[in-house]
Amino acid sequence: MDHPRELTVEAPRAWDRPVVSVPVLICLSLVGGQLPSFSAAANLYTLGTGGALIWVGLSNRVPPRRPAPTRLPPGALWWLLPVTVFGVFEGATFVLSVGDEFPTFSRLADPLLEDHLVRSAAWFAWLTAFWGLVRR
């Protein structure tokens, strides 16, 4: 006898709900916004929060919202090209310590990020985007 398969949907876990994840991300961004730019504490906090989100994403604790594509769509090259060029220029100017002649994007954004509230908002945007990638 063939029994029809039942479609079951797993209830979202606590950290997968916006009611839980958004306040957690806000608290993390408020802490990160208080740290001075490019300090050892800020770098360790960035690596720690990023590492924790990667760990949550790689462990099967958060079910993906949709499966990953098997191959990149044809238009992805047009997005990867400018991102790669930007990354190469940003990395080269940072490694070579060129300074004011050819400043990095981070150095250009530093005057904006002097305010703790703006820095916390930038942290929140970064964490939200990273959480979206983890959930993918």
Q: Output the tens digit of pLDDT for each of the chain's 136 residues.
A: 555 555 555 555 555 566 677 888 899 999 999 998 778 898 899 899 988 888 877 776 656 666 666 787 878 888 888 889 988 988 888 788 776 677 777 777 878 888 889 999 999 998 998 888 777 6
How far is 24 from 26, CA to CA, in rounded Å? 5
Q: With CA atoms as reference, report the closest residue to 52 among 78, 24, 80, 92.
A: 24
Residue 131: burial class (beta carbons within 10 Å; 0-12, 13-18, 19+)? buried
The answer to whether the beta carbons of residues 86 and 92 sit under 8 Å apart is no
Q: DSSP class of residue 65?
A: S
The answer to whether the beta carbons of residues 62 and 16 sit under 8 Å apart is yes
Element (H, E) at 133: helix 116-135
pLDDT recorded at residue 14: 52
Among all chains, which residue has been given the structure tokens 């990020």?
113
State whether residue 45 is helix, strand or coil: helix
pLDDT recorded at residue 84: 92
